[in-house]
């Protein structure tokens, strides 16, 4: 018999308090007790956040299995929220995990000063700096005043997701020529965020295009 995670009738989520020792005031010999929320496999729900060996994951899917012989177990698939890879795992029924609250906040990208990118919370108007190295390759899709999604696990920032589509100006490309529309060829073009994409031959510098940030491909002329 098996029971899949997307079905209704799942048990209500309960949090169990365990404690983690953390240093106080930089002194290794003095520690305080900090509660850590834990759940068991009976509490699994798709999309729930877990912290395993210091890394953050979300549950993609799971299946409770009760074989004819032997103890019940759980097959589950989790996604590493920082590396992006998906992992298949198996554990005994009732195994406990540390749970984390996953929060996605929509924030407006304001500017960068060379060392950090600044985002504004659309509700509180608080400005939050994010280190340049943390943004990584996503920087090439950040356009000032666009809204982005910032993913948190409890209070820790895990990632910055640019908009799925951006509308940007072509700042540099070879001139287009009449008749290029029917040839189907492409050419490199630099857009205002600094990224280089492939665009149709007929487009020129100064034109605005829509770009899919998931694969960096040209979508349409705006």
CATH architecture of the domain covering 102-161: Beta Barrel (2.40)
Give the position of tokens 């899709």.
141
- pLDDT at residue 6 tops 90: no
Q: What is the dihedral of CA 157, 215, 165, 105, to 10 degrees?
A: -10
Q: What is the pLDDT of residue 68?
A: 85
Domain residue limits, the chain:
2-100, 102-161, 165-221
- pLDDT at residue 32 tops 80: no
Largest distance between two CA atoms of the chain: 76
- Dihedral angle sign, alpha carbons of residues 63, 64, 66, 71: positive
pLDDT tens, 59-117?
Answer: 999 999 999 888 999 999 999 998 889 999 999 999 999 999 999 999 999 999 999 99
Q: What is the pLDDT of residue 62?
A: 97
pLDDT tens, 134-172?
Answer: 998 999 999 999 999 999 998 899 999 999 999 999 999
Q: What is the pLDDT of residue 25?
A: 40
Domains 102-161 and 165-221 share a fold: yes
The answer regarding whether domain 165-221 maps to CATH 2.40.50.140 reads yes
Fold type of domain 2-100: SH3 type barrels. (2.30.30)
Whole-number Å distance between alpha carbons of 176 and 193: 21
CB-count burial class (<10 Å; 0-12, 13-18, 19+) for 157: middle
What six digits make up the tokens of 17?
């308090």
- The answer to whether 48 and 59 are in contact (CB under 8 A) is yes
């Amino acid at each position: 018999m098996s029971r899949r995670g997307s079905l209704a009738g799942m048990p209500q989520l309960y949090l169990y308090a365990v404690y983690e020792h953390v240093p106080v005031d930089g002194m290794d010999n003095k520690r305080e007790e900090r509660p850590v929320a834990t759940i068991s496999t009976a509490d699994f729900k798709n999309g729930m956040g877990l912290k395993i060996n210091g890394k953050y994951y979300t549950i993609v899917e799971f299946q409770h299995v009760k074989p004819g012989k032997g103890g019940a177990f759980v097959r589950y698939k989790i996604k590493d929220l920082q590396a992006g890879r998906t992992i298949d795992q198996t554990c005994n029924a009732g195994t406990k995990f540390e749970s984390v609250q996953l929060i996605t906040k929509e924030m407006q990208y304001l500017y960068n000063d060379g060392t950090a990118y600044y985002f504004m919370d659309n509700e509180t108007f608080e400005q939050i700096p994010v280190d340049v190295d943390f943004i990584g390759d996503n920087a090439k899709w950040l356009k000032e005043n666009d809204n982005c999604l910032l993913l948190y696990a409890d209070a820790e920032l895990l990632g910055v997701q640019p908009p799925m589509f951006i509308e940007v100006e072509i700042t540099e490309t070879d001139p287009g020529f009449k008749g290029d529309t029917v040839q189907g060829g492409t050419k490199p073009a630099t857009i205002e965020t600094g990224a280089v994409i492939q665009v149709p031959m007929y487009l020129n510098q100064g034109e605005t295009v829509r770009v899919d940030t998931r694969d960096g491909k040209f979508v349409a002329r705006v």
